[in-house]
Structure formats: structure tokens, C-alpha cells
Structure 1
């Protein structure tokens, strides 16, 4: 027998997964709450129990992706012996590259929300997401400093802000340039990040 909390969590995860799949298939603008209702089989009330609209749902998908990246980073750190910065930085790099691909759902949602930034609710959501991601990246650098893999004199907050700028820039470049440029490879991004930290 499942508890109400477990059932609610399963329903919410179904909503997130379904929305992500619909964005892959249709894009952000063409995905509607009615599509989500039809695909999940949940009622409109069940959807509105979790979110006020599809834009909030899109923001929660981006936050979920950031949390997943954090889990991968923590696993890489746990598996690292001694002050070796390579595995955690490779994990961050792989996540950055995957999240900046113009066909990635996260990139599609990010660009869509960015285009709606004049809406105060969306602007607040993007600011909250940025601050969440900045705190997460800062904590990664602090973990590296405590382990002795990253020099202690590096300002973790400033370095995290630079990485955020780098990541956002790659996302926008990949959308605007399309196939006109050669996409950055994970090893190129890794070298830039690694050199900047050591």
C-alpha cells in the first residue's frame, strides 16, 4: 500500500516526465497544459495542485535537471581518492555540454523562458534558478577546496559566477549559431575549466 505522499510524488514526477517528453516532441510554445492532462491522464485540478501553469512547470524541470547534475557531481566526488579534481570537473563539464545542446530539453526550456523574461513571474523564476545554480556551483568549488583539489585562494563565488556566464553563453550561442559553427567539445570545455581552477 502506498502512502498519499508517495502517490503525490509519483504524480508530480509523472507530470515532469510527461512535460519533458512533450517539449521534446512539440517544443515549448506548442506544449499546452491540456496536452499534459491528456498524456498523463490526470485532472486539471491535479496538475494545478502542483503548479500554477506550464511556465512554472518548465522552471521546475530546469531545477530538477540542476539537482540531477548535483547528484552526479556528489557521486563523482565520493568516488575520488585524494585531492584529484579531474573526475568532478569532468562530471561538471559533461553536464554543461549536455545541457547546452540546442536540442536538449533544458536548453529549449531555458531559451523559451528567457524569451518571456518581461513577465515578472518568469523573471523571478529565472532569477531564482540562477541563484540556485550559483549556490550549487559555489558549493562544488568549496568541496574541491576542502579536498585540496582546488587552491584555497580562488574566490568560489566569483568562479561560480564565471562558470554560469560561460554556460549561459554556450546555450545562447548554440541556439543562435545553429549548425554554422563547430560545437565545443567536452574536452575543450574541461581544459578551460581545469586551467581556470588550478
Structure 2
């Protein structure tokens, strides 16, 4: 089972591992990046890496999870600021910005997601994707519930159903940006407008 990143985890070896793997993916792509490349770049032993993950693919899944967590951290920080400034829309702007960045063709997140998705017939990878889906869905549900508490989202919105719609949209956006990255004019401002319009119409 893929390790779940603890909200307070600041283990320097884990952070180094994630950052090095992400940099290699941007340089070489997912298929060409090997565990030996990661060992060489980080200086960590194979045993140290296997303390965190059992395979390259699991490491890639952990990078995706860390990106969802980073977006969630930005959302929670924006909520804290919103409570002081009465700007209840700021957290969703943070989500829109994170989504825009992670769905770019050049994003390591996008590359990893498509790479893992292309191998879904492998039971181990299917499990990684299922765990990522569950983690992302639970996080999105919490965003919506937080927005309802702050009165930025109507209580008529069903958090679970809206989370499912949000994930369907983000998966489509990732594929679109991979196939035709210059054919869309969707930026973070437009994403924010779309998210808020959709939520407030429910």
C-alpha cells in the first residue's frame, strides 16, 4: 500500500527523494527515469529509498500525492487568511492556481499521471491510482465543506458529488493539455471563475 504523507512530515530524506525524482522526470521523462538515476542524484542508498517506496511507480504515486497535499496546504493557509480579511473566495483561487500549474504539459504531475494511467492494467499501478483517487476525492470534499462553513459555498451543494465532478474535470484538463497544450485559453483566473460559478449555481 502506498505510504500516505503525514501533514506534518518534514523528513529531509523524503523531501529530497521527491524533489530529485520530480526534477529527473522533467529532464528525462517518466519511462527513462530509473531508481539508479534517483540514487545517483540524491546520494541516498537503495535501502534508504526502499524505506519509503517499494518501486519507482510507487515513488511517482507519492509525488502526485505530495502535489495534492501542497494544494491542500495552500487552501488551508488561504482559509486562515480569509478568516482575518473576510475574503471567503481566496481559498478557491489557491485551488485554481494549483490546478492550473499541475495540469500544464510541462508539469511533472501531469507527466506522472498520464504515465501511470497508461499502465493501469498492472495491478500494482491500478492500486496506486485508486489510492490517489481516494486521497484526492477526500481532500476535495474537505475543501467544499470548508467553503460551506465559511459561507462561500451554498449548503445545497453535495460535497461528494461536487468532488466527483471536480475530479472528472481535472482529469480531462490534464489529458487536454497533454494532447493539445496550446489549444486552450483556460488560465487560473478562468478556472477560478468556473469553480465559483459552478459551486454557487448548485
TM-score normalized with structure 2 length: 0.90
- Which residue, 71, 95, 100 being the options, matches 1:92? 95
Q: For the residues of structure 2 that align with 1:154 and 1:196, how far apart are their CA atoms? A: 10
Q: Could you tell me how far 1:176 is from its partner in structure 2?
A: 1.2
Q: For the residues of structure 2 that align with 1:194 and 1:50, how far apart are their CA atoms? A: 38
The alignment of Structure 1 onto Structure 2 pairs a total of residues equal to 190
Contact 1:85–1:150 (Cα < 8 Å) also in 2: no
Q: Could you tell me how far 1:184 is from its partner in structure 2?
A: 1.1
- Which residue, 111, 126, 129 being the options, matches 1:126? 129
Question: Could you give the per-residue CA deviations for residues 36-60 of structure 1, whole angstroms, max 9, x where no partner exists?
Answer: 1111112212211221111000000
Contact 2:104–2:181 (Cα < 8 Å) also in 1: no
Contact 1:62–1:106 (Cα < 8 Å) also in 2: yes
Comparing both structures, which one devotes a greater share of its residues to helix?
1
What is the DSSP-based 3-state SS (H/G/I as helix, E as strand, rest coil) of the residue aligned with 1:154? coil
Gap runs ≥5 in structure 2? 1-9
Report the equivalent of 1:177.
180
Contact 2:96–2:191 (Cα < 8 Å) also in 1: yes
Largest Rg, 1 or 2 = 1
Alignment of 1:97-112 (within 5 A): 97-112=100-115
What is the DSSP-based 3-state SS (H/G/I as helix, E as strand, rest coil) of the residue aligned with 2:155? coil
Contact 1:63–1:129 (Cα < 8 Å) also in 2: yes
Q: For the residues of structure 2 that align with 1:84 and 1:55, how far apart are their CA atoms? A: 40
What is the DSSP-based 3-state SS (H/G/I as helix, E as strand, rest coil) of the residue aligned with 2:181? helix
Contact 1:18–1:36 (Cα < 8 Å) also in 2: yes
Q: Could you tell me how far 1:84 is from its partner in structure 2?
A: 4.0
- Which residue, 140, 155, 158 being the options, matches 1:155? 158
> Is 1:59 paired with 2:61?
yes
Report the equivalent of 2:73.
71
Q: CA 1:177 to 1:119, structure 2 compared with 1: closer, same or farther past 3 Å?
A: same
Question: Could you give the per-residue CA deviations for residues 82-115 of structure 1, whole angstroms, max 9, x where no partner exists?
Answer: 7643211111110110110010011111111111
Please provide the CA RMSD for this pair: 1.5
Question: Could you give the per-residue CA deviations for residues 148-185 of structure 1, whole angstroms, max 9, x where no partner exists?
Answer: 12111110111111111111100001111233x13411
Report the equivalent of 1:29.
31
TM-score normalized with structure 1 length: 0.91
- Which residue, 16, 23, 41 being the options, matches 2:43? 41
Q: For the residues of structure 2 that align with 1:172 and 1:116, how far apart are their CA atoms? A: 15
What is the DSSP-based 3-state SS (H/G/I as helix, E as strand, rest coil) of the residue aligned with 1:25? helix
